[in-house]
Amino acid sequence: METHPLIDAYGRVLDNLRISVTRECNYSCIFCHLEGDPIGGPQKVGTFPPLLSPHDYSIVAEAATRIGISGFKITGGEPLVRKDIIKVINSISDVVGDADISMTTNGYLLEKYASSLRRAGLKRLNISIHSLRRNVYKKITGIDGLERAIRGLEKAISIGFVVKINVSVVRGLNENEIWQLVDFAHQKGVVLQLIELQPINSGAKGFEKLHFPLFLIEKELIERGARKFRRKMHNRPVYILPDGTRVEIVKSYNNPVFCAGCNRVRLLPDGMLIPCINWKLPGVSLFPGIRESPREKAVESVVEAFIKVNLLRKPYALYQIYTKDYISDGKELRLTIPKRSFRLLTKRDLQISLHKGIYR
């Protein structure tokens, strides 16, 4: 099938779709951003029936491939609380062929579903294990589920999934546990992904108290002999330690360099496409077009929705200056965020602002 990739005004190709298949979750993590869903926070299991069916997702997947999207990330809430999640994955994989389909999960139900997910066409898993200490894990997630999450991780590895461990770094809870998590990832032969908190939805509550800047960890990675390179997606820094352990850093907060490498849009559970997790305005709804008949008409309608949401894409690059002090290993460190109010209109504007080297 011939594809026609979409490129926004800043030269960023759209080739990744993050699909939140439910607002429901069996956890209550203290920093949950719920993928930027304006509903605010995760909902209890059984309270928000799905609005999009597996067939709807097959329409979305076909439309996405036509405009050059080749990466699909399934998220929530917690995607595995959807009783038809295997059908959802099948509906996407049947359409997209060899495209990359992955999922982010808390792992609580993964041991049960891992084999079925693999057969359905899922290729990669991001499994959230925010602490290896049972009490800290429960404080962060609200659930005493560490052992089940680890069993899910081990099951996923055993059947051939490519796995990342996601760790949201929380000041006062797990920031002193990073090197144990690095060792754990090394033992399991998987990538460790460290994620800086974002002040979005539940993550906005107590953000100043809980936020821990990942540049402190990056500094120590270099001191321990890690080699550094950057992924194309979000310009993410990746560190390879001497023992081969790969540590990936996700630091979107106050970091327009991250936004400059963004290649995705997001589909919320209510059928709304949004261009950014920080988006506060109305998005582009797939309804009623996604239910049109015949199928080709529905696919064309969703293609038009992707074109419209691509027109809304822009780097989230409006920030305030402030200076903040941190204590690490008894040393006082200072983080300064530059003040800029950019009116970025074109790819050239973005290139000029990044070239000035004002961002961390």
Q: Report pLDDT digits (tens) over 235-255.
A: 999 999 999 999 999 998 878
Residues 308 and 325 both lie in one domain: no
Residues 266 and 344 both lie in one domain: no
Residues 298 and 326 both lie in one domain: no
**pTM given for the model:** 0.88
Residues 347 and 249 both lie in one domain: no
List CB contacts of 28: < 8 A, sequence separation 6 or more: 42, 141, 142, 143
Report the pLDDT value the prediction gives residue 318, as an integer from 0 to 100: 43
| Cα 122 to Cα 101: distance, rounded to the nearest angstrom | 5
Q: How far is CA 150 from the centre of its chain?
A: 20
**Tally of domains in the chain:** 2
User: Looking at the predicted structure, is the pLDDT value of residue 20 above 60?
Assistant: yes
Please say whether the beta carbons of 54 and 171 come within 8 A.
Answer: no
Report the pLDDT value the prediction gives residue 348, as an integer from 0 to 100: 60
Residue 204: inside a domain: yes
pLDDT tens, position by position, 59-115:
999 999 999 999 999 999 999 999 999 999 999 999 998 899 999 999 999 999 999
| Cα 264 to Cα 230: distance, rounded to the nearest angstrom | 17
pLDDT tens, position by position, 37-72:
999 889 999 999 999 999 999 999 999 999 999 999
Residues 114 and 76 both lie in one domain: yes
pLDDT tens, position by position, 290-325:
999 999 999 999 999 999 999 999 887 543 333 445
The rounded mean pLDDT for the chain is 89
| Cα 167 to Cα 147: distance, rounded to the nearest angstrom | 16
Residue 176: inside a domain: yes
In the block, which residue shows the tokens 């390879």?
240
| Cα 181 to Cα 177: distance, rounded to the nearest angstrom | 6
Greater pLDDT, 124 or 328: 124
List CB contacts of 249: < 8 A, sequence separation 6 or more: 193, 194, 196, 214, 217, 218, 236, 237, 238, 239
Report the pLDDT value the prediction gives residue 339, as an integer from 0 to 100: 43
DSSP-H helix ranges across 281-324: 295-312
Residues 269 and 342 both lie in one domain: no
**Residue 334 forms beta bridges with which residues?**
325
Report the pLDDT value the prediction gives residue 262, as an integer from 0 to 100: 92
Other C-beta atoms within 10 Å of 355: how many?
Answer: 8
Residue 241: inside a domain: yes
User: Looking at the predicted structure, is the pLDDT value of residue 156 above 90?
Assistant: yes
Residues 53 and 35 both lie in one domain: yes
Report the pLDDT value the prediction gives residue 174, as an integer from 0 to 100: 97
| Cα 267 to Cα 275: distance, rounded to the nearest angstrom | 9
Residue 164: inside a domain: yes
Report the pLDDT value the prediction gives residue 340, as an integer from 0 to 100: 43
Range with lowest mean pLDDT among 80-94, 125-139, 191-205: 191-205
| Cα 349 to Cα 10: distance, rounded to the nearest angstrom | 8
**Residue 325 forms beta bridges with which residues?**
334
| Cα 62 to Cα 303: distance, rounded to the nearest angstrom | 9
Kindly state the tokens that stand for 313. Answer: 């894409």
Report the pLDDT value the prediction gives residue 205, as an integer from 0 to 100: 87
Q: What is the CATH number of the domain that holds 220?
A: 3.20.20.70
Residue 360: inside a domain: no
Residue 1: inside a domain: no
Mark residue 16 as left, alpha or beta (left: phi above 0; alpha: psi -120 to 50; beta: remaining): beta
Q: Which domain holds residue 344?
A: 318-355
Residue 243: inside a domain: yes
Residues 253 and 334 both lie in one domain: no
330 falls in which pLDDT band (50, 70, 90)?
Answer: low
Residues 183 and 280 both lie in one domain: yes
Strands (E), 136-260: 162-169, 191-196, 227-230, 237-240, 246-250
Residue 53: inside a domain: yes
358 falls in which pLDDT band (50, 70, 90)?
Answer: very low
Nearest residue to 84 (alpha-carbon basis) of 126, 56, 65, 124: 56
Residues 166 and 294 both lie in one domain: yes
Report the pLDDT value the prediction gives residue 359, as an integer from 0 to 100: 37
Residues 195 and 76 both lie in one domain: yes
DSSP-H helix ranges across 176-292: 178-188, 207-210, 215-223, 256-260
Residues 203 and 330 both lie in one domain: no
Please say whether the beta carbons of 292 and 307 come within 8 A.
Answer: no
Q: What is the mean pLDDT of residues 180-186?
A: 98
